[in-house]
Amino acid sequence: MRSFLLFWVILLASLPAFPQSVLSTVYSYTHLPAVTHPGYEEQTLAEGTTRDFSHVIVQAITIGANQPTQPTQQLDEEAILIIKTGELTLTLGSKHKTLGPGSVVIIMPGDDYQIENKVTQSLTYYQIRYTSNEMPDLDLYQLVGGRSGSTGRSLSLRLINREMTSG
């Protein structure tokens, strides 16, 4: 009886250690249905949880040519944008930058940003948004010149501003 009970305790204790609804596989957006919105469409490649993220979503977003300016956005989670085709005009805070295929943008929670497609061809980019299970290390922000207790905005803006002013 003790070994039976020990078996169930070990089994049940190990289940929450590996919650992974996002599977290891190859994802392709060419076979996924698109959700169409005015001026753009999005396809969700994967969404769920992993061992380290309480939420992760990977999307392919296509914005049509010469679309009107979208309102400024602000996310509660971190985001990475990877430009696949076209030109993405990014406004991050007060900085503006036009980026092409292969460019990568990192946006931290709380940062104001705006994405535009100002050219005559469509723009496609991948968006990866995620929320970590871990609380941020606020001492790290102090090391790079931020204030203790900040949301990390100073860190993200400093890193991206360096790229935006050098390019």
Q: Which pLDDT score, from 0 to 100, does residue 156 have?
A: 42
Determine the distance from the C-alpha atom of residue 66 to the mean position of all C-alpha atoms in its chain, rounded to a whole number: 24
Q: Which pLDDT score, from 0 to 100, does residue 79 have?
A: 94
Greatest CA separation for the chain: 72
Q: pLDDT tens digit string along 139-163?
A: 554 555 543 333 444 334 444 444 4
Measured distance between the N- and C-terminal CA atoms of the chain, rounded to whole angstroms? 68
Q: pLDDT tens digit string along 33-82?
A: 899 998 899 999 989 988 888 899 999 999 999 887 788 999 888 999 99
Extract long-range pairs of 41-50: CB within 8 Å, 24+ residues apart. 46/22, 47/22, 48/20, 48/21, 48/22, 49/19, 49/20, 49/21, 49/22, 50/19, 50/20, 50/21, 50/22
Q: Which residues pair with 95 in a beta bridge?
A: 92
Domains of the chain, CATH where assigned: 18-135 (2.60.120.10)
Share of the chain above pLDDT 90, in %: 37
Q: pLDDT tens digit string along 115-140?
A: 999 899 999 999 999 988 887 665 55
Name residue 71's amino acid: P
Closest CA to 107 of 120, 90, 119: 90
Both tokens assigned to 121: 């061809």
Q: What is the pTM of this model?
A: 0.69
Q: What φ, ψ does residue 107 adopt, rounded to 5°?
A: -120, 125
Name residue 73's amino acid: Q
Q: Which pLDDT score, from 0 to 100, does residue 5 have?
A: 55
Taking CA atoms, 110 is separated from 15, 98, 121, in Å, by 33, 22, 30
- In this prediction, residue 21 has a pLDDT band, given cuts at 50, 70 and 90, of confident
